[in-house]
Amino acid sequence: MKFNPLSPDATLYHIFRESASRHANLICQRFRDSEGSLQTITYHQFYEELTSLAAGLLKLGMEKGDRVALIADVGPEWLRISGALNSIGLVDVPRGTDATAEDLKYILSHSEARAVFLQNRAAFDKLKPTLESLSTLKYIFFFEAESGLDVSGNVAVLSLKDLHQEGLSYLDGNPGAVDKVGAGVVPGDLATIIYTSGTTGIPKGVMLNHSNLAWEARTILHILTEQGTPYTSEDRSLGFLPPWHIGERMWETVLFHCGSSIAFTSIASLSRDLQEVKPTVLFSVPRVWEAMYNRILETVKQAPAARQKIFFFFKKVALAFRFHLDRTRGKTYHIKPVAAVIVFLERLYSLLVVLFLWPLFLISRLVFKKIRGVLGGEIRYAVSGAGALPEHIDRLFAAIGIPIFEVYGMTETSAVSVARLGKNFVIGTVGKPVEGIQIKLLDSNGQEVRTPGKKGVCYHKGPHIMQGYYKDEEKTAATLKDGWLDSGDLLVWTREGQLKFAGRAKDTIVLLGGENIEPEPLEFALSQSPLIQQVMVVGQDKKYLGALIVPAHDELEKRLKEMNLGGAIDPQYYNLNEDIIRLYKKEIRRCVGAESGFKSFERIGAFHLLPESFKAGEELTQTLKIKRNVVNEKYHHQIESMFRQPGVEI
């Protein structure tokens, strides 16, 4: 019997079954085999494998509500496995293979997982020392067959191929078994427990049910259509982010829902796959867009001087044209109240600028055509989430002709609460609340904030809000109040009714003088420097702010040569080189000085250059956000030493 996957009563089982039926012969996934050749799988093939895996789990006695860990990275298997689990009412507990041994032990123990899927032997090696303490664990499923594991007799080990065969034999004697169990799954049933990597503290298990995820997926498709940028079965995308992160998981679910295709790649092979797959839409995180932006500029700087001048001239033209075109259309924002007559005069002035720059802008599109070609040449738009996108990057891609739709949400909101899409595309903001979702900002006194430019903690309410934190009533009660979720994020309203990200309330640095400072705007400003690869602002309970800076080593060496100070310098000794220190002092003043709009107490009073980059899984989360507690602990000595230096002035 057919079931409408757009129904409020739909579960993930319905989405997988009905979409596979409607799009049976369309390509669902693309992926490279062991020889590097691009392979495809149709929706029919995908669902056949999903069904056999689900049947295999039923044969092994798995029951509705059982928790099953899924330790894997991006790839074609992930959605098939999570789909199989959810289709028979099992609860997936996902995490990446680069999780620490301590995290894996905590997650499997805390969730009381009955089984675990492991992508590789390395993940097993992390888990092995704790297997005996995991009393509920009965099965380990490897993506590929493994041998010589030395596993306790209480735990059975199978490969995906073994589980597939078990499922086929079970279906021979029990045809329709998966559908029978799947039909018994209801929207309120738990679908997943996602342990947030977080930037601080012990992982929290976010509980999302079928209703949360199904509502979010169909709402995203709905608003894309309403905003004039529909996502359809003719679109193609690339997958290279961790699928256990809610953003990538929801993106893959949305693509499956509408019959689109996704090609799995990695950062290393992204350039090749962009050319071969030619995606029409991309989803990524701000750090990836920053990397693309920096790569574009680095490539240009390697060109002859004349070409560099042409590029940077037309870059200025395109940026100016895009800004004034947006303002003419009423698609810019004001962070403070402004009189209507002022807005009218601004738009009139911008109209004149647009008319003047129009011929040059048309030429600039030809200049930027090659850049679009590097990204495959067919991208209609891109989507960015899991952090605020720096405005200069945002505006450049829009000028090139690749608008980046920014979305805002978190794991606890099933991905998206606020979106800046086609009709609400205002660069520098995260857009407006999604239809069906309520947003309010509260100040430190608990009063609602509506005044443009005034910061408040963002609270979310709607059908997408989590059920709570697994086995943690105290944290659930502190985060969920009368259906409103306290995000801990600071946002501001603009005059035009959009929301703009303003940092994390929990990341606020309080100086000795009592000044409260959000580090993210400062970090965004500093990261615009070509000399700075990564940066974290510090200064809790200090007289002034400091910064831990990871230099952009290639650009630094280039600058030193231009200053006739060439010669390889060991990064370990950067802080002892007076020329390098002077160079970074000057750069910091340029990025966060008074002329850049920063207050005196927001300026950087000390810094330390780090020899190594922050790495995902260590100092960074999988979505490349800084784990401030980890960095503070790892570089405690350097931070304290930085602030012990008397008379530091930049």
- What does the pLDDT look like over 558-573, one tens digit per residue? 888 887 766 667 888 8
3-state SS class at 563: coil
Residue 166 — pLDDT band, cuts 50, 70, 90?
very high
For tokens 């977080």, the residue is 198
pLDDT score recorded for residue 441: 95
Q: Which helix (H) or strand (E) holds 346?
A: helix 340-367
Residue 7 — pLDDT band, cuts 50, 70, 90?
low
pLDDT score recorded for residue 516: 66
pLDDT score recorded for residue 197: 59
3-state SS class at 523: helix
Q: Where does 365-455 show beta strands of DSSP type E?
A: 381-384, 404-408, 418-420, 432-433, 438-442
Say which residue, 602 or 69, is predicted with more confidence: 69
Q: Which one-letter DSSP state was computed for residue 334?
A: -
pLDDT tens by residue, 174-220: 999 999 999 999 999 999 999 985 444 578 899 999 999 999 999 99
Q: Which helix (H) or strand (E) holds 554?
A: helix 553-562
Is the per-residue pLDDT at 253 higher than 90?
A: yes
Distance between terminal CA atoms of the chain?
Answer: 71
Calpha distance 491→458 (Å, rounded):
6
pLDDT score recorded for residue 103: 86
pLDDT score recorded for residue 31: 92
**Residue at 111: amino acid letter:** S
Q: How many other CB atoms are found less than 10 A from the CB of residue 355?
A: 11
pLDDT tens by residue, 536-594: 999 987 888 999 999 998 888 888 888 776 666 788 888 888 889 999 999 999 998 87
Cβ within 8 Å of residue 275, ≥6 positions away: 376
Pairing mode, if any, of strands 545-551 and 532-538?
A: antiparallel
For tokens 């259509």, the residue is 225
Q: Helix count (H) and strand count (E) of the chain?
A: 21, 27
Domain ranges of the chain: 12-195+231-283, 508-644
Q: How many degrees, rounded to 5, is the angle at CA 417 between CA 415 and CA 421?
A: 100
Residue 646 — pLDDT band, cuts 50, 70, 90?
low
Calpha distance 566→572 (Å, rounded):
17
For tokens 């040449």, the residue is 377
pLDDT score recorded for residue 1: 41
Q: Which helix (H) or strand (E) holds 318?
A: helix 305-328
pLDDT score recorded for residue 422: 86
Residue in 195, 185, 177, 168 with CA at minimum distance from that of residue 56: 168
Cβ within 8 Å of residue 307, ≥6 positions away: 300
CA pseudo-torsion sign 83, 84, 87, 91: negative
Chain mean pLDDT for the chain: 88
User: For the domain bounded by 12-195+231-283, which CATH number is listed?
Assistant: 3.40.50.12780
In words, the CATH class of domain 508-644 is alpha beta
Say which residue, 622 or 283, is predicted with more confidence: 283
Say which residue, 104 or 649, is predicted with more confidence: 104
**Residue at 350: amino acid letter:** S
Is the per-residue pLDDT at 49 higher than 60?
A: yes
Average pLDDT over residues 72-86: 95
pLDDT tens by residue, 15-39: 999 999 999 999 999 998 888 888 9
Alpha helix locations (H) across 183-285? 210-226, 246-258, 270-277
**Residue at 73: amino acid letter:** D
Decide: 523 and 549 in contact? Cβ < 8 Å: no
Q: Is residue 398 left, alpha or beta, with left meaning phi > 0 and alpha meaning psi from -120 to 50?
A: alpha
Calpha distance 463→155 (Å, rounded):
39
Phi, psi of 262 (to 5 degrees): -135, 135
pLDDT score recorded for residue 8: 63
pLDDT tens by residue, 293-310: 877 887 788 888 888 888
Give the length of the chain: 650
Residue 512 — pLDDT band, cuts 50, 70, 90?
low
Beta bridge partners of 205: 195
Residue 108 — pLDDT band, cuts 50, 70, 90?
very high
Residue in 316, 564, 326 with CA at minimum distance from that of residue 426: 326
Average pLDDT over residues 345-366: 93
**Residue at 466: amino acid letter:** M
Calpha distance 253→127 (Å, rounded):
29
Residues 239, 245, 247, 249: what is their CA dihedral angle, to the nearest 10 degrees?
Answer: 60
Instruction: State how far Cα 632 lies from the chain centre.
Output: 23
Question: What distance separates the 2 farthest-apart alpha carbons in the chain?
Answer: 81
pLDDT score recorded for residue 37: 85
pLDDT tens by residue, 403-437: 999 999 989 999 999 999 988 899 989 999 999 99
Is the per-residue pLDDT at 628 higher than 60?
A: yes
Average pLDDT over residues 462-485: 94
